[in-house]
Amino acid sequence: MRRVIAGVVIAQVAVLAAAAAVNTQSPPRIQVVAHAVAPRVDITIDGKPFTSYIFERAQKKPFLYPLRTAAGTVVSRGYPIEPRPFERTDHPHHIGLWFNYGDVNGLDFWNNSDAIPADRAAKMGTVVHKRVIEATSGKDKGELNVEMDWVDSNGTILLKENTHYVFSGDDTSRTIDRITRLTALKDTVVLGDNKEGLLGIRVTRELEAPSQKPEVYTDAAGKENKTRVVQNEGVVGNYVGSDGKTGDAVWGTRGPWMMLGGKVGPEQVTLAVLDHPSNTNFPTVWHARGYGLFAANNLGRKAFDPQLPESKITLQPSESVTFRHRVLILNGTPDPAKMAAEHKTFAAQK
């Protein structure tokens, strides 16, 4: 009997020791956690907030917001959902990092927002979050799989979207891979030639290009000031293309990558988007504007250059098209050689 009791005690001690070992293990570096109540999934790296996948229906599409550097500096605009002092109040559909398009069977998904008047609603499309398929935390990466529907104003589904996000980062960088598959359902879907698309980021005021044109900005309290003024204090953003072009000259150019450099507070930041060679019409056209819109458009052609033939993708029922992009948020100034190397690594991934 004593031997039996001793064996039981030893077994219990072993179980407790194993449980203690589990409890002392560090949690995954990269956490991807669905919020219990709010419509969002939060992503943290090394215990610090990075971004959130937000799917509030009022915004007409899911998006990642805000975007932060490894040091925690926010590089995305706050307006219209969290206005900050001295931000532009244009384009309320530009929120964080998003993906949609301006011509899907003639419907405009890109420009839709809660600011669209009722008489234009029939011409707009909405991307509706349906479910989180999987959210996985990990040591080297965190992953999020989500499903969405692209619907018209009557709720008819035109496209089924499946997007796989991969989040990673270290002491000086943050990386987002976005792999999106769009599938036509019962009807044929035509993605027309349009400049409004496809992967978009709206950046913070400091990363815009200086401008001498009077604009409307929020005031010191974050409220819209209707007076148009010229305001360039701390505004130092500059685009750098893979072809060497800079500033406003990058709009409408094609290339495998594009960078945006500037200073946000005391931090020097480089924000980059990389286009994968497997994407339609690679290399992408850059729909990048000095006022803070940074977008990769894999579908538009004639919309950017009237001399080019029209681009159009037709998806028959059950047919799909996939787009793959990488977003980098880096410490330091833009380095074309480094970005070329980053793209080479990204391009090699299948």
The answer as to CATH 3.30.310 being correct for domain 31-347 is no
Query: pLDDT at position 24, please?
Result: 57
- How many CA atoms are closer than 13 Å to the CA of 290, on its beta-carbon side? 13
> Cα(96)–Cα(78) distance, rounded to whole angstroms?
8
CB 146 within 8 A of CB 163: yes
Token reading at 174: 């943050």
CB 240 within 8 A of CB 268: no
pLDDT tens for the 350 residues of the chain, in order: 344 334 433 434 343 344 444 445 789 999 999 999 999 999 999 999 999 999 998 899 999 999 999 999 999 999 999 999 999 999 999 999 999 999 999 999 999 999 999 999 999 999 999 999 999 999 999 999 999 999 999 999 999 999 999 999 999 999 999 999 999 999 999 999 999 999 999 999 999 999 989 999 999 999 999 899 998 999 999 999 999 999 999 999 999 999 999 999 999 999 999 999 999 999 999 999 999 999 999 999 999 999 999 999 999 999 999 999 999 999 999 999 999 999 999 999 98
The domains of the chain are located at 31-347
**Tell me, what amino acid is at 311?**
S
Query: pLDDT at position 76, please?
Result: 98
- Give the number of other Cβ atoms within 10 Å of residue 321's Cβ: 18
CA 30 to chain centre: 18
* Residue 336 per-residue DSSP state: H
Query: pLDDT at position 155, please?
Result: 96
- Residue 174's DSSP bridge partners are 169, 329
CB 205 within 8 A of CB 292: yes
- Give the number of other Cβ atoms within 10 Å of residue 132's Cβ: 15
> Cα(346)–Cα(277) distance, rounded to whole angstroms?
9
- Residue 215's DSSP bridge partners are 229
Q: What residue spans of the chain are helical by DSSP H?
A: 2-24, 336-347
* Buried/exposed code over 185-210 (b: 16+ C-beta within 10 A; e: otherwise): eeeebebbbbbbbbbbbbbbbbbbbe
Query: pLDDT at position 42, please?
Result: 98
Query: pLDDT at position 26, please?
Result: 83
Sign for the CA dihedral angle at 320, 329, 296, 131 comes to positive
Strands in 5-72 per DSSP E: 30-34, 40-45, 48-54, 63-65
Query: pLDDT at position 8, please?
Result: 34
